[in-house]
A and B are shown apart, each in its own frame.
Chain A
Amino acid sequence: MPAAIQIADLSKRFGATQALAGVDLCVPEGTVLGLLGPNGAGKTTLVRILATLLQADAGEARVGGFDVRTQAHQVRELIGLTGQYASVDEKLTGRENLILIARLLGFSRADARDRTRSLLEQFHLLDAAHRAAKTYSGGMRRRLDLAASLVGRPRILFLDEPTTGLDPRARLDLWQLVRGLVGEGTTVLLTTQYLDEADALANEIAIIDQGRVIASGTAQSLKARVGHRNLEVVVRERDDIARVAAWVSRITGRPADIKGQRVSAPAADPEHLPALVRALDEAGVPVDELALRGASLDDVFLSLTGRRAGPGPDDAEESA
């Protein structure tokens, strides 16, 4: 299979911030790559370079076989982009927004009308089609933005955190849509902060942190690298926390992590859960929640970097 996106040693610096520090990636045609990483990892920077909006300082990126730097126009013929922040024209109606894109892409008036109608229908925006986009809710803008990036039936689609701000139904709709597009042969590069999203959609996942790809592979292989699940219990009475924490660490053989009334520890063996249930039951300790959770992005992240994912106080200090 030829590569739809090929990236070699790409780097980009903004002042003192090294946003990308030598990224290598390859996305085969007709597949989904999930780019997973915490805030400030460089996801948006990478997407913007691939979409020809930003120039890299060094390295090479090819999209559909074309160099993003020297053949930007050819790249633009192939791609669709939904940026992290909705980029619809608020002063136009939803319909006018899509007509604008269609006409710029060379659709005839009639074709532009037809394409616009079917996209508005697909994204449940027909009722609001004649209202200025500034009156849309966040989720509606997001859907209009997605529709706008699909007008030209792009062969390669970039989605930068596409489900941020969508309600659960719209989120599932989007997943369904992406699967449909990939079924028709579209290549998708999607960034997200949620492992479940990458898990649900991506053939391959690349984890990016501080401008570097620190791990890549299928969702299964990444979770396997973490090698454990988490045993979690939320204790009802504060007085029981210490007791429960002691049982958890005895059962799992690992130090228990206590956050408020939530006690957790990595659990290598599924048998740990029934063991804890028995201990709680015998002592008659009431709990609000009890679960053996699969590895989360946080766990994968923690095990790869020794840091928690997401914007913690540590990150704030680093960037200051």
Chain B
Amino acid sequence: MRALQQCLTLAWRSLVQVRHNPWELGDYSIQPILFLVLFLFVFGGAVAGSTEDYLSFILPGVIVMNLVFVTVYVGHGLNSDLTKGVFDRLRALPIPRWAPLAGRILADMVKQVLCILLLLGVGFLLGFRMEAPWWGLPVMIVLLLAFALSFSWVMVLVGVMSRDPEHVQLFGFTALFPVTFVSNAFVPLETLPSWLQTLVALNPVTMLVDSCRGLLSGGPVLGPALGALVWAAIITAIFAPLSVRALNRRLMGQGGAA
């Protein structure tokens, strides 16, 4: 009970931090909205023939892209806690060892839900209407959060291994841009060269985007959703132990920052 309250307190802290850092808030909100609007009007005609058709295609794509980018802040925040000594202050308190990390990831989940709702709201203003049954929405959010949770472990590792928060951001975005763009988030799979199609079909971003499209506008869901969940399980199985080990190494002062 006490541990849960401590975890919530730490999550509160991560959320309050955003209030004093408008740039971070902009990264969550203005940036994806900008992406959505720009892509819609620049590529809409070329890719889908009209902006209306393209909107229901690209909205899930932007939601998933943003989901992946927001997880970078898990690594960014963890790294600044480690480099600025806040992590030490927390570790010297009588709280469970996992609480700081859990609080941060919990806060990330809250941010993710807010971002998803924000983008859906903007989509609505631009004319998007949900065509699938209503329960598709909560299912989509749960699926997205499950994937974000697993992907957070990758960012925890990046956060632990990086020298400073700027490197986390640099590394995070450099690695994630290709991952999100080599997918069917913005263009249909069929339009890609065949060698790339194989790669794109295997990308978890593609699977997530397909599930979201199915859950919002109708179409196959089970296949891509299962694929995304398998990816989530694999990522967690690999990166959770790696991250925990790297964190312990760094805290014990043997490794130091790479």
Contacts and interface: CB of A to CB of B under 8 A. Distances in A.
B89 A83 contact: yes
Interface string A67-93: 000000100110101010111111111
A93 B20 CA distance: 8
Contacts of A55: 252
B233 interface: no
A159 interface: no
Contact of B86 (A77, A81, A87): A87
Contacts of B80: 91
B88 A53 contact: yes
Interface stretch (A98-106, A119-127, A214-222, A282-290): A98-106
A92 B20 contact: yes
B200 to A, nearest CB: 38
Nearest to B17: A91
A52 interface: yes
A101 B93 contact: yes
Contact of A52 (B13, B92, B253): B92
A76 B94 contact: yes
Contacts of B194: none
A207 interface: no
Contacts of A48: 88
Contact of A92 (B16, B93, B95): B16
Given A77-B94, A81-B92, A92-B16, A14 B85 contact: no
Contact of B9 (A51, A86, A89, A104): A104
B20 A87 contact: no
B148 interface: no
B9 A103 contact: yes
Contact of B252 (A54, A83, A91, A132): A54
Nearest to A154: B92
Given A104-B9, A105-B94, A83 B88 contact: yes
A96 B13 contact: yes
A86 B21 contact: no
Contacts of B16: 92, 96
Contacts, number: 72
Given A92-B20, A93-B20, A104-B6, A87 B89 contact: yes
A79 B93 CA distance: 8
A104 B254 contact: no
Given A89-B13, A96-B16, A104-B9, A53 B92 contact: yes
B247 to A, nearest CB: 13
A74 to B, nearest CB: 8
B84 interface: yes
Contacts of A54: 252-253
Contacts of A88: 86, 89
Interface residues of B, number: 27
Contacts of B5: 103, 106
A151 B135 CA distance: 47
A148 B91 contact: no
Nearest to A105: B93
Interface in A215-250: none
A51 B92 contact: yes
A14 B254 contact: yes
Given A53-B91, A91-B20, A100 B84 contact: no
Contacts of A14: 253-254
Interface in B2-34: 2, 5-6, 9-10, 13, 16-17, 20-21
A295 B207 CA distance: 74
Contacts of B95: 104
A70 to B, nearest CB: 14
B187 to A, nearest CB: 38
A282 B90 CA distance: 65
A148 B89 CA distance: 9
B92 A79 contact: yes
Contacts of B251: 53
Interface string B77-104: 0001100111011111111000000000
B88 A87 contact: yes
Contacts of A89: 13, 17, 81, 84, 86
B94 A73 contact: yes
A106 B252 CA distance: 27
A88 B20 CA distance: 15
Nearest to A87: B85
A62 to B, nearest CB: 17
Contacts of B21: 91
A89 B104 CA distance: 14
Q: Interface centre among B5, B9, B91, B93, by most A CB within 10 Å?
A: B93
Nearest to A86: B85
Q: What 10 pairs between A and B have smallest CB-CB spacing? A: A87-B85, A91-B17, A76-B94, A132-B20, A87-B89, A103-B9, A77-B94, A81-B92, A51-B92, A89-B86
27 contacts: A52-B92, A53-B251, A54-B252, A54-B253, A73-B94, A76-B92, A81-B88, A83-B85, A83-B89, A87-B84, A87-B85, A87-B88, A89-B13, A89-B81, A89-B86, A91-B20, A92-B17, A92-B20, A96-B16, A100-B10, A100-B13, A101-B89, A103-B5, A103-B9, A105-B93, A105-B94, A106-B5
Given A53-B251, A83-B85, A87-B85, 5 more contacts: A53-B91, A76-B92, A76-B94, A77-B94, A101-B93
